Structure 1
Amino acid sequence: MEIAVIIPSKNGITHLKECLPTVVKAARKAPFPVHITVVDDNSTDKTMEILSPLFPEVVFLRNSKKGASSARNWGVKNTPCDWICFLDNDVFLDEHFFNTVQKYLKQDVFCVACAGYTAYPKISGALEQNDGIKLLEWKRGFLRFTGNIYNKELPLQPEYLSWGVQGSYFFCNRNKFDRLCGFDEIFEPYMLEETDMVYRGLKRGWKIVYAPDTKPLHKCGGTIDSKKNKYTQFLSKRNRVLFVWKNITSKSLFISHIFWLLLRPNFKVLKSIWKFLPDIRNRRAIEIKEQMLTDKELLKQAKYFRKKCMSAMLQKTLKGEI
């Protein structure tokens, strides 16, 4: 087995100087070949020129296009692997990271979602979890995919499934990645590209396994501060609409989406996606043809698991375990 670590980076030299040594150290400890590739997305901070001599074990590529999706696709295309580990440039790994995740990398698995923690917890030295099992929810005309079930809330069972991944750290089966043609570059330059890809896999009946014992640390907003960056906020709104128009094939959910869109129209967003309509129609036709599970079936699965976790938490409370 070979793993390709793909790290897209735009003007991220400061983050890479801190985080890349932890990735290299974890790769050295791995029981299989791990190839690390940093894809420089046309940076102006001389990332490649400065860091390439400092990290001879890392391959540095320049993205031939612009954006996170194309950067990741370009990195995968140029790196041999059976599995792909996608990391952001502001993620720290512990030295046993790849050893820990090895048991989840099975042929029938599409993606492995990691349990993620903040790199700077409120209590020094503590593990403050900020990413767990991702859930799906339909709310106000859009699919919500940021809900988390954390480790302390999990019922005891041999395997945990997730309905999404945290794009900062997750694994993807190379064969299935290629079958999906990778990340859809319609979401360039960034935002929701990994959500779109894993949702397409879910609708094909492929499973995402959650790895509760992984512990990547995220600087959280080190690369993109979505709460302050107005362009990121615009892209979030635009790409959420693109996601629904491309992927949501349930008629009732789509009608709900249109209702909320008309109720709160965003003309700047609608104007920006008008040029994508022909591509969206083509992509939507493919998704309808390939889907094995419906939108409502996936929402029902996630809702059932949430209820199961709530029941497990109640039992733990009654027993005095928490």
Structure 2
Amino acid sequence: MPCIIVITHNNADTLRKALESLVNSELVDEIVVVDNNSIDNSQSIIREFIIKYPFVKGLFLKRNVGFAAGVNVGFRACESAEPYFALFNPDAIATRDWLKKLVEFMDKNGDVGMAQSLLIKPNGEYDSAGGFINGLGYPIEFRPKVNYELLRRVKPYEVGYAKGAAVLIRREAYLQVGGFDNRFFFYYDETDLSYRMRKAGWRIYVVPSSLVFHIGLGSRIPNKELFVLYYLERNHLLFLNKNIKTRLIPALTWSLIGALHEHDGARLKIRVRAIYDAIKLMLGHLVSDPINLN
């Protein structure tokens, strides 16, 4: 059965319920939790599950390497990643058959590289029903106008990218494209992987009958608004340079104009830093992650 990889960083508020939902899911017999040096109660919760469930494994990293690198670490630790492995967020709640539905679909469709669950917020709104990557390199989410209970009856449909909160990935496809790019650290990691898979000829689907509730709180991060702004700005440019080079110069110009029109000094500073670091990464230099906002 597929190995499930969970990446954590200060997710104690939601982690216990996420893991409880996973251990009670069908087909689950291996869970690898990669902790990115949490300083809250996350590591204690993980150790509780390791003691209680022999099929739960914990990897405790000495520094925060981000989501992309964390998945690559977890993948190497999986014993049952053939033919698939799954990603699951620590702020999500699985329904019992979420994984079974994804596996059944992938078993019947050998050209599918990734299959995503239907992600619903606790209030019943859509978190992700799939999406596409537009010509400027931005991921655009579908926002269906029907109740998700109706959408669950729809057959699986093809999309442009999969969200990593609950997704099944074909090992062959993952290895063919080189796995996640560690440079993305946070945001655009799954967008980049999806783009490369589709370019390599693999297809990506949403399986609406596979339902997962996504709380969406994420990690506890100081100055989270600026943190998110930095990585969205930086990694969008990095994504374009890597995958859609013809759009890089217009996007870089637009980013500079947008930064210079910021009236908030902190936002101006972080956007300029993001552009600078994106260029460094494009040139093959290293940058320090996670960004220090102090």
Determine if the TM-score, normalized by the shorter chain, exceeds 0.5: yes
Residue in 2 that maps onto 1:113: 116
Segments of 5+ residues of structure 2 without an aligned counterpart are 260-270, 286-294
**The residue matched to 2:169 in structure 1 has which SS?**
strand
Q: Distance in 1 between matches of 2:187 and 2:155?
A: 33
Task: State the alpha-carbon separation in 2 of the partners of residues 191 and 144 from structure 1.
Answer: 11
Output one character per residue of 1:125-155: Cα deviation in whole Å (capped at 9) or x when no partner. Answer: xx432211312323xxx3221321538398x
Q: Partners of 2:142 and 2:95 in 1: how far apart?
A: 22
- The structure-2 alpha-carbon separation of the partners of 1:115 and 1:158, relative to structure 1 and needing over 3 Å to count, comes to closer
Cα 1:228–1:157 shift into 2, 3 Å:
closer
Is the contact between residue 151 and residue 212 of structure 1 (CA under 8 Å) also seen in structure 2?
Answer: no
Distance in 2 between the 1:222 and 1:271 partners? 26
Q: Which is higher, the Rg of structure 1 or of structure 2?
A: 1
CA distance, structure 2, for counterparts of residue 207 and residue 227 of structure 1: 37
Residue 10 of structure 1 deviates from its aligned partner by 0.7
Say which of 201, 205, 219 aligns to 1:205: 201
C-alpha distance in 2, partners of 1:129/1:60? Answer: 31
Is 1:132–1:151's contact at 8 Å kept on the other side of the alignment? no
Selected match of 2:239 from 243, 248, 253: 243
Q: How many residues align?
A: 262
Residue 233 of structure 1 and its aligned partner are, at CA, apart by 1.5
Q: Which residue of 2 aligns with 1:173?
A: 170
Distance 1:48 1:88, change over 3 A: same
Tell me the equivalent position of 1:73.
Answer: 72
Gapped regions of structure 1 (runs ≥ 5) = 122-126, 281-322
1:159-196 deviation digits (Å, cap 9, x = unpaired): 510101122111111111112221101112x1111111
- 1:40 aligns with 35
* Shift in Å, 1:72: 0.8
Letter in 2 for 1:113: Q
Cα distance change of structure 1 residues 47 and 257 upon mapping to structure 2, 3 Å threshold: closer
Q: 1:254: Cα distance to partner?
A: 3.9
Q: What is the rounded CA distance, in whole Å, between the counterparts of 2:179 and 2:197 in structure 1?
A: 11
Change in Cα spacing, 1:69 to 1:159, as seen in structure 2 (3 Å) is closer
Partners in 1 of 2:222 and 2:133 — Cα distance? 21
1:91 aligned residue: 92
Offset at residue 257 of structure 1 (A): 2.6
The DSSP-based 3-state class of the residue aligned with 2:283 is: helix
Query: Aligned equivalents of 1:204 and 1:264: distance in 2?
Result: 34
Tell me, in whole angstroms, the C-alpha distance in 1 between the residues paired with 2:256 and 2:187: 23
Deviations 1:225-284 (A, max 9, x none): 8995311211111111111111104x3x3453344245435532222223313339xxxx
Residues 275-320 of structure 1 show CA distances to partners (whole Å, capped at 9, x for unaligned) of 313339xxxxxxxxxxxxxxxxxxxxxxxxxxxxxxxxxxxxxxxx
Structure 1 residues 226 and 44, CA gap change in structure 2 (3 angstroms) = closer
Contact 2:256 2:272 in 1 (8 A): no
Structure-1-length-normalised TM-score:
0.73
Q: Alpha carbon RMSD of aligned pairs, Å?
A: 2.6
Which amino acid counterpart does residue 241 of structure 1 have in structure 2? L
Match of 1:164 among 161, 164, 170: 161
In the alignment, the residues of structure 2 paired with residue 255 and residue 187 of structure 1 have an alpha-carbon distance, to the nearest angstrom, of 19
- For 1:1-322, what aligned pairs fall within 5 Å after superposition? 2-26=1-25, 29-30=26-27, 34-54=29-49, 55-56=52-53, 57-63=55-61, 66-80=65-79, 81=81, 82-106=83-107, 107-119=110-122, 121=123, 127-138=124-135, 142-150=136-144, 152=146, 159-188=156-185, 190-223=186-219, 228-249=224-245, 251=246, 253-261=247-255, 263-264=257-258, 266-279=271-284
Aligned counterparts of 2:145 and 2:212: Cα–Cα separation in 1: 14
Report the residue type matching 2:46 in the other structure. L
Quick one: structure 1 residues 247 and 158, their matched pair in 2 at CA, closer, same or farther if it must change by over 3 Å?
same
Q: What is the distance in 2 between the residues matched to 1:42 and 1:34? A: 25
Equivalent position SS for 2:140: coil
Provide, for residues 70-109 of structure 1, a one-character-per-residue CA deviation record: whole Å limited to 9, x for no partner. 1111101110212121111011001121222222113221
SS at match of 1:242: helix
Percent identical: 21
Provide closer, same or farther for how the CA distance between residues 220 and 53 of structure 1 changes in structure 2, counting only shifts above 3 A. closer
